[in-house]
Structure formats: C-alpha cells, structure tokens
Amino acid sequence: KTVYLKDYRPTDFIIETVDLIFELGAEMTTVGSEIRLSRRPGSPADAPLTLDGDSLELAGLALDGKPLAPERYEAAADGLTVHGLPESGSFTLTVKTRINPSANTQLLGLYRTSGLFSTQCEAEGFRRITYFYDRPDVLAVYTVTIIADKESCPLLLSNGNLIEERNLEDGRHMAKWHDPFPKPSYLFALVAGDLAMIEDQFTTMSGRAVTLRIYVEHGKADRADYAMDSLKRAMRWDEERFGREYDLDIFMIVAVSDFNMGAMENKGLNIFNDRLILADPETATDDDYLRIEAVVAHEYFHNWTGNRITCRDWFQLSLKEGLTVYREHEFTADQRTRPVVRVDEVKFLRANQFPEDGGPLAHPVRPTQYLEIDNFYTTTVYEKGSEVSRMIATLLGTDNFRRGLDLFFERHDGGAVTIEDYLKCFEDATGRDLSHFALWYHQAGTPVISVQSAYDEAASTLSLTLQQKTPPTPGQKEKKPLHIPLRVGLIGPNGDGMEPSAVSGGERTEDVLHLTEAEQTFVFKGIGARPAISVNRDFSAPVKVNFEQSRDDRMAIARFETDLVARWDAINGLALQALVEATAAVRAGTPISVDPALAEALIETAGDETLEPAFRALALTLPSELDIGRELGRDIDPDAIHAARRTVFGSLAREGAERFRQLVDALSGDTEFSPNADSAGRRALRNTALAYLASATDEPGAARAAYDAATNMTDMIAALRILAHQFPDAEETAAVLDDFRHRFAGEPLVLDKWFGAQATIPGEEALERVKRLMQDEAFDALNPNRVRALVGAFASSNPTGFNRPDGAGYRFFADFILDADKRNPTLTARLMTVMRSFEALEVGRQAKARTELERIAGHETLSRNLRDIIDRMLKS
Ligand code: ARG
Ligand code: ZN
C-alpha cells in the first residue's frame, strides 16, 4: 500500500471536462458524473481506465450514453476499472454513485453536520464522492449542478461562476456553477444549506470588479468583518508584492463548525474552520485575530501557489504549502511588526517542527514515500518548507527572488509541477546554481551548527569556525553538508555594530555567511576589539546553534543587538539556561538560585520604552515547561521542570514586582478595542506583567479584578488563565470559571478557551478534571475543535497532568484515541503525534507510555492513518 515517488507515471487517459449533478439528500445523495475522456497519446491501446474510489457504491455506468455490460467493468468500494475503451478520440463516461453525507463522521468527502452540506477533498476526499482520477496532476474543467430542497438549503455553492439558478418541482431548486480554470479534484468544493452572508467588493489592479462573500451561521454575520478586511488586504498585498491578481468574478469563503483542519483553498470557494473566520472583541482574542488574518491570506494566496500552479503528485506538497506559508509569513510581517512576527515563527518552529524533525516521524520536506498522505500535512512540509523558500530569498536577495517567482508563474501557469521545476525557475532567472541548496528538500533532520571563535588582537582578526552536522533520521543514516545561509553580526565593546574590512574563508553576502562544507573557517579582518558574535540573526536558517558563549557576550547581544530576533533569542536563551539549571537543582535537591543579572535584564527590557510592547512581552515570557523539556531532550521529569519553573517565575516576579505593577497600571487604560498589532502588543505586555504580579503577591485578587474589569476576550481569558493556573483551588477561580461558562453558554468557540484553560491546569488532578469536562454538555467528541480544545490541550500542553507518574494520563488518552479512530481517523492520527517524543521521558514514564502505545498498535482494526503514525512512532 506504500506509495513511492519513483513510481510516478501519468494517467493512461486524459480528463477534459467533468459535469457533476448532485441531488442532495441528508441520508442519500446521488452523484452523477459525466466525464469527457480521451486516451493519452502514447499510452497502450488496451490499457483499462482505473479510477479511484473510497467507500463508494456504483449505481450506474454508461459509455457515450449506453449502459455498460457488467463484463466491461469491475466496481469495488475502492475503485472502478473499465475495459475496452476507444483507442482514439474522445468519449463520455457517465458514473452514478450514492453516498450518505450524514454518516460521514470522517469529515472527508461530502458530509453533513448541523444541517449544512460541505466538502473537504484534499488530499483524497473526492474519491469518497465519485469514482475519479483523484490525483493532483489530472486537471479538468468542472461544471456542477446542485439540486436540493429549497427550504432547508436555500444556498447552493460550488467553484467558479454561477451560470444558472431556478426552482424545480416539489419545493426543490437547482444551481449550476462553472469553473473555467482546469483544476485537480482536490480543489473541488460544494456547500449547501442555510447561512448568513456579508458581501464586499474588490477592484483588482487591472480594474476588474470582484464580489467578495463570506458565509457564516445565522446570527454571526457581524463577526465576519475582520476576515473580510483581512481578505481585501491580502488581495491588495499579493498584487503589490508579487504581481498576482485574482481571476474570477467572485470569491467566496464559507465558515463551517465541523472541520478537520484550519481551512481549504478550493478554487473560488474557500472553506474554513469557523474559528478562523469569526471574531469580535468580546469573543475572540488578539491571537485569534492574528490567526484569522494569516489563514485568510494563506488560503487566498493559494489561488496562485497551489491552484493556478498545482502539484504533480503529493510528494510535491511543500511546493504549494511551503511557498504559501512563506507568502503568508511575509504578508503578516508587512501587516504587523516584522521582528515580532518572526519571533513567533521561530517559537513555533522550535516547538513543533524541530521535535518532529528529531523524532520518529521525521521526514524530508519532500518525502519519497508515504502510506497515508493525510499524515504528511506536517510542520516539516509547511513550516520548514517555508523556511527553505525564505532561505532562497536570503541567498538570492529579494529582487532576484521575485524575478524567479515571476518566471515560475509565467512558465508553469496551468501546470502540475515539481519542486525541481520550482528551483529551476530561480536558477534560470538568476544564473545561480541551486543544486547543492536543493538538498534541504531531501534531507530530514535539523542541522546543528557548532561555533568556535578566536580573536587575534595583534592582527585585528576574528576567526569563526563553523561545523555543521545533521543527526540521522529514520531511513537516512548518513547526512551531507547543506548550503546554509547564516546571518552573523558583530557587536563591539561599546554596544555598536562592527563591520569587517574583509572576510575570507567562504562566500559572504550582506551579513550572510554561506556555510557549504562540513567545517569552514571564516576570518573577519579589521576587527579592532573582541566583539560579541551574534549567530543566525533573523533566524536566517532553521538550525540549532551550539555556541559556548560567555554570559557577558550573551548579555551584550541581549542588550545591544539591532536585529531584534537575535536579541530576543539571546534573552530567551539565558532564561532557558537558568531554567535548565534550576531543573537540575530540583532533581538534585539543592536550592535554586536565579542569576540576578538575568532578572535585571528581563525586568529592564520589560520597562524599556524604546522597545515596542509586543517585543517586551515576548522577552518577558519565560520558556514554557515544554520548551525546557525539549531543551533537555532526554530523561525528562515534568514534575521537576514544573517546580523549577514555578520557583524561577516566582523569584522574577518578586524581584520585578514594582515594575510589573507599574506596567499593569499604565497599560490598563485602553478602552476602545482595536485588533491592530500595537494594541494587541500592549495587552500582551500588560497580561504578562499581570501574571508575574499575581505570583509576586501570591493572591488572586488582582487577576479577579482584571477579569471583572475586562472589556474584551483577550483580557478576560488572560485573567481566567492566571486564576486557573496559579490559584486552581481559590474561590475566585471557581467563581470566574462558573461565570464564564454561563456567560458564553451558546458559544462553542468561546467555551473552547474555557476547556483549554482548565485542561492545562498543572498537576495530578488534571485527568479527573478533563474527564469531568468531557461530561459537560458543551463538549462534543465528534467535533474536532472541541476535541482539540480539551483532549488535545491536555495531552499536548499539560506536561505534569498528562504525564502523571502512574500512567493514567496515557491510558485515558489511548482509550480516547481508540474510540475516536472509528469515527475520524484524520483527527486521531494527528492527535496521536503529541506523544511522538515519549522516548525523551524519564524511564518510568517512558515505559508506561510505551505500554499504552503498544496497546494501541496491537489493535487490528486501526485506521490506516493511525496505523501509519503509531507504527512509525514505535519503530525507531
Ligand atoms: N490545503 C490546506 C491548507 O493548508 C490544508 C488541507 C489539509 N488537508 C489534509 N488532508 N490534511 O491550506
Ligand atoms: Zn495551505
């Protein structure tokens, strides 16, 4: 069942057009598919047509209008084979299937939840609707007719432009959509139901008017404004930054409440998880606003990177996802504050992609094999893929990157292409050879760069020796050196930047050192004093840096580095080191001492008015318990980490109590809510300071007062989290949790925050709490958002609770996974990955975790998704 890249070959037949007719019924939907086909020139004259299917039932099959005799075809639930088709010329195959959208709990294909029909076809969901060449390199023009009851389904949507609409008998009506752009089946979409809508207009750079519509549940239309605003900004930005214009007369977004992923870029009809559309100040946090802006832009950007140019096969997934994430990141950086946005990206990459790359599920950005493609929508394909495109931009420069991308759009528009095709465009546009660089796509694992420096005062030179090593990953034991663009800055004794008169030992462009060998020594000339060396500025390469620097040098970077990403990294690194030391002290039973210089640096940064509040909040935020665990990498004892962090946090809190109180007071005055980056940054700093203040005073009063005074969800949930996490047993906490539960009784997305805050309360009792919350009527084990908010948050973000020494957390989780897998394999396989680093736990917990993983693996009826993940997790 494993699919290999090397086995790629084009289909024997070409599909020119497809006409679909849906007769929608909740329990029975009939799908008529009329496919216009011809044999591909050069393919064998007797080759049968083999179409994909998944859980399908054939209800009719005809060739050029005449029913096919049973001996001409074989129909199974998972495929349809037709023999004896014409050697030349076009012909029409009519395929009829019947499906049950209400029984589709996988949320893949066509499904119906809370009265709404919607689809998710990427990667292989279309084959659950009808038999088809369900692969990205088969591009066809679609015409879609939808017939449904008018009363329950007044709204009938599909891709492209609406070309016909009329009433039928028996209270039914129909709508016909035509999408002129050839597309692969994974971009097909259909929505039918009864929804509210907001509408706007966008005039493209060439002057075409585009109608913009966002559909949401009735009563929620006023929460779609920010998504609409984001969409318009994204459309303008893509024109200005990359010259990309929208191409249909209408662009639609539909928000649905049962959705496995974040969102989907179906041509002209994006379908979104409603948590990534709906926002107003009273129900959404600044973080929600940020995510909405980013994902609306991401899906819109796919129109060019993904839809107009798509992937030849799913091994090329990062061609569209990595590039689109990069475009999304650039958009967000332009809309907000670039270094703050970059720090968030770095934190995300380290917290999610690095562990993936260093664990049993590691795979290259472009994998060479898969058992279930659904499991490859990973942070490696997405975020590391984005970093690889970012490095191309760093290597070539912004203008050359644009030139290469322009060529890509020009050369491959309408095509289904490969990562090699993508790279070739940059080579052809700039003359630069990227063959060595291309290894980033093929080699898994996070490179580790070891740095050694020597300053020669007499010669005024600084030598920097860089060694790179990528650890082995599953299936890839030996690693080659990569081409790594590493931004390096020098900070002089007075805090000013130093610029060398010359650099030898390798290529250098701007402040970028091009590390291309396993070991390389760069010599900087004309350096009059020993500098502090800032490595991997702006996180120019997705690598780990191993550099034994003096504390003074790190302090200098933390104070003076003009690159704020590196500055944050220095501060964060110092804090992380202190937390690691404190954890060791807890385990050794020795007292914890917090370096006063670190406390001073943090508190000073927090109060530095020359820095923007969002950055100060980032600097002040201590690495999480999970960050500390990842830094340790082995023999992890979550209880020791928790105790250590709590102590360090408390001592910083007391040390800086005065400053924190000041910040809370100074930043509490904002009344008018704006979701912009500046206001959000002020709230972030204020709420970070509030958490410290609560710890310093060791009483819940301030947080309780903040909850009562809150006029927006950001402040409200921040106060609630402080109460729940720092004072779980306080009366105030119980009162606030109760108030919140009742106040937002009819708001599932808001209650997800309530579930999440409680699921992550540290300590042994967490498991009982989670079990209790699962009985709350707002919980729904069939809804992916609810599951992730409660069970997902518990397993992924409650280290002490989930990793209870008795293993009860693992047992509960395994039971949940086994049960949920029968309903929604995409969800369970994804959930399962939170345990991928179990081998880093101390031996006792590790053994208990393994027992549960093996118990899951021992079940014979697992979904293919879960089987793939669990087997890989246990193999290494
Ligand atoms: N293409 C979508 C996006 O990133 C995600 C689709 C996820 N599908 C899946 N089968 N995992 O914008
Ligand atoms: Zn995407």
| Tokens, residue 46 | 């007797």
Q: Where are the beta strands (DSSP E) in 516-674?
A: 519-525, 532-535, 544-546
List of the chain residues with pLDDT < 50: none
In angstroms, what is the span from residue 261 Cα to ligand 1's centroid?
Answer: 6
Q: Which atom of ligand 1 is nearest to the CA of 377?
A: 11
CA of 764 to the centre of ligand 2 (A): 38
| Residue 61: its H or E element | strand 58-63
From the CA of 320, the nearest ligand is 2
CA distances from 765 to 368, 510, 723, 795, 810 (A): 44, 54, 16, 14, 14
Ramachandran quadrant class, 342 (left: phi over 0; alpha: psi -120 to 50; beta: rest): alpha
Q: Which of 128, 261, 298, 386 to mutate to test the pocket of ligand 1 (most atoms within 8 A of CB)?
A: 261
User: How far is the C-alpha of 820 from the C-alpha of 797, rounded, in Å?
Assistant: 20
If you take atom 2 of ligand 1, which residue's CA is the nearest one?
264
Are the CB atoms for 339 and 565 separated by under 8 Å? yes
Task: Answer for the pair 177, 163: CB distance below 8 angstroms, yes or no.
Answer: yes
- What are the pLDDT digits (tens) for 600-653? 999 999 999 999 999 999 999 999 999 999 999 999 999 999 999 999 999 999
In this predicted structure, what is the pLDDT of residue 121? Answer: 99
Of 119, 122, 185, 311, best ligand 1 pocket probe by most atoms within 8 Å of the beta carbon = 122
Percent of the chain scoring above 90 in pLDDT: 99
Decide if 576 contacts 624 (C-beta within 8 A): no
For residue 384, the CA-to-ligand 2 centroid distance in Å is 13
Q: Work out which ligand 1 atom sits closest to the CA atom of 265.
A: 12
- Sequential DSSP letters for 14-57: EEEEEEEEEE--SS-EEEEEEEEEEEPTTS-TTPPEEEE-SS--
Residue 142: phi, psi to the nearest 5? -105, 135
CA 164 to chain centre: 38
Q: For residue 739, give the amino acid letter.
A: D
Measured from the Cα of 123, ligand 1's closest atom is: 10
The two most distant CA atoms of the chain are separated, in Å, by 95
What is the value of pTM for the model shown? 0.99
Query: What is the best residue among 118, 188, 264, 828 to mutate for testing ligand 1's pocket, by most ligand atoms within 8 Å of CB?
Result: 264
**Is ipTM beyond 0.90?**
yes
Phi, psi of 835 (to 5 degrees): -95, 10
Which atom number of ligand 1 is nearest to the Cα of residue 298?
A: 12
Provide the pLDDT for residue 876: 60
Tokens for 395, please give them: 């290597």
Closest listed ligand to the CA of 123: 1
Cβ atoms 32, 21 nearer than 8 A: yes
Q: State in Å: Cα 318 to ligand 2 middle.
A: 9
> What is the predicted pLDDT for the residue at 496?
97
738-741: list long-range contacts, CB under 8 Å, 24+ apart: 740/716
Q: What is the pLDDT of residue 117?
A: 99
Here the contacts of 492-495 (C-beta below 8 Å, separation 24 or greater) are: 492/528, 492/529, 492/531, 493/529, 493/530, 493/531, 495/556, 495/559, 495/560
Question: Does residue 633 come out as left (phi exceeding 0), alpha (psi in the -120 to 50 range) or beta?
Answer: left
Ligand at shortest distance from the CA of 321: 2
CB 580 within 8 A of CB 595: no
- Catalytic option among 122, 293, 299, 852: 299
For residue 580, what are its two tokens? 């690691």
CA distance 64 to 34: 10
Give the C-alpha separation, 586 to 144, whole Å: 65
Q: How many residues are recorded in the chain? A: 876
Predicted confidence at residue 306, as pLDDT, reads: 98
Q: Whose CA is nearest to atom 12 of ligand 1?
A: 264
pLDDT at 671: 75
- Distance from the CA of 787 to the center of ligand 1, in angstroms? 19
**Is there a contact between 252 and 268 (Cβ–Cβ < 8 Å)?**
yes
Measured from the CA of 264, which atom of ligand 1 is nearest?
Answer: 2
Q: Closest-lying ligand to the alpha carbon of 319?
A: 2
Ligand 2: distance of its center to the CA of 277 in Å? 16
Distance (angstroms) between ligand 2 centre and the Cα of 214 equals: 19
Report which ligand 1 atom has the smallest distance to the Cα of 120.
8
Ligand 1 atom 5, closest CA: 264
| 698: Cβ contacts below 8 Å, ≥ 6 apart | none
Among 377, 379, 380, 865, say which to mutate for ligand 1: greatest number of ligand atoms within 8 Å of CB.
377
Nearest CA to ligand 1 atom 3: 264
Q: What is the pLDDT of residue 493?
A: 96
Residue 402: its pLDDT value, please?
98
Does 16 qualify as catalytic in the annotation?
Answer: no
Helices and strands of the chain, counted as H and E runs: 30, 34
How far, in Å, is the centroid of ligand 1 from the Cα of 186? 10
> Which residues sit with their C-beta closer than 6 Å to ligand 1?
122-123, 261, 263-265, 298-299, 321, 374, 377
